Structure 1
Amino acid sequence: MFAIRRILSSTNSRGLYRSYHSINQCRRPLSPFTAYSLKSFNTNNNAGRFRNTYRGKKVFVKPHNIIRDHLMLAVTPHRAIYEESNNTVSLSRLGYLTFEFIPTENVDGRSRANYQDKDTFIMTMKNIGDFLKIDDSYNKDEEPVILNYVPFNSPQSGPDSRVTVCKIEKKLIKEDGIDILNFEITYMYIRGEEITKDRSILIEVGEMKVLQSLLEQSMFYLLGWQVLGTPQILESDIDNRDALNSGKFSPFKKN
């Protein structure tokens, strides 16, 4: 508890310090529903984008990319997964979105992404509302929006405890002498008492509105409600049940 307080206060960010309470709440004993929705996340699982098959072939979902000189933000939805058990077909895993922060470099006038050095923040249903409420007004005293994801298998405390943080803060950037509103999205990885990663990307108001629209539209699929209109999705999940349970298709491992 006190370790997290020291870490967040040392960043000199009021928003991060205030978020101590929400992060600490995630470390308390989880309700059955929360524990169910926060399966452990493995950032080394490169099959995370694969959720569907069509006629026995893998279907890869193209992420929405925002590219800057030094960093690319790639946002990808991952739908809910169903499974067959006895005489019923029920939800096995809630969906989520990945926010991947990928370093880029300019090579011969083209941006080249270094996927081996990417960092990933998991956006679950519990965080989407806070992201959607961000508006395009500016108040210098407004605190940043703080989202956090605590891996379900993270120790409660100690050097191996882990928290990933996504901070969204409004910034005024001067362009031709005019203050233009931007949003700074920062990824932080806290391990034990140390912030080991800190990466930021600036996006414009229009880009933020596109992100919010995509997140809003994705909730239907994160909850798995699309099966009401396209029950064929269940066939894919049931046919691939063994692979899904082995973790090949998802960064969320079943306990």
Structure 2
Amino acid sequence: MTNVTVWNEYRHERESDVVAEIYPDGIHSVIADTLDSAGFDTQTATLDEPEHGLTEEVLAETDVLTWWGHAAHDEVRDEIVDRVHQHVLDGMGLLVLHSGHYSKIFKQLMGTSCSLKWREAAEKERLWVVEPSHPIADGIDEYIEVDDAEMYGERFDIPAPDTLVFNSWFEGGEVFRSGCCYRRGNGRVFYFRPGHETYPVYHNEAVQQVLVNAVDWAAPGEGPTPTFGNYEPREDIDTSDDRTVH
């Protein structure tokens, strides 16, 4: 069974009545319930827990980590970011959601500013499936329509995705790369744009289906573990040459 840890700042839900009405137990609880109902072994972690809930023990048993952050990116300790980063390189999957594009972990993995345009106007969004054969798009129609969305617009300062699964159009005219797949080390990373805290986006069944599909895609496989560093020859060769500076 795939083990998922759902991480959330859990600040807006405790500070805003508008957000609390939509997510009374936190955004993380809705996402965790969705993934738990799909058959994943799911736990949650939040910013204000010791070590942000992301201890070495938690990450060691996590196959896929989902990340939602917005107002407190700077409060995430650098040593915890480095810890998550290493686990991704070692094979843990990572789903970065909505405003998590500005999280320390996503910027570290991308190596760019991850900046974009934005606007809060409760406008319509259509997420068009541009790679219908990709497993993250399984069971999704040609597009997902979100009635009330925060606009994110290009340019999105990220490296070109290995695969772009969704491209968004907004009622105000902008477009945005909204479903971006990457490989970093042995880990798979998926950025998924929808999820503004004042709109009930994570209650949308199509959005929930994407999250389920993305966890399946990002989970580690059964492939071999690569070996790095100085390596003894598998075949019988002459190793007497000592021309080296090491």
- Under TM normalisation by the shorter chain, which class is it? under 0.3
- Per the normalisation by structure 1, the TM-score is 0.26
Question: TM-score if structure 2 supplies the norm length?
Answer: 0.27
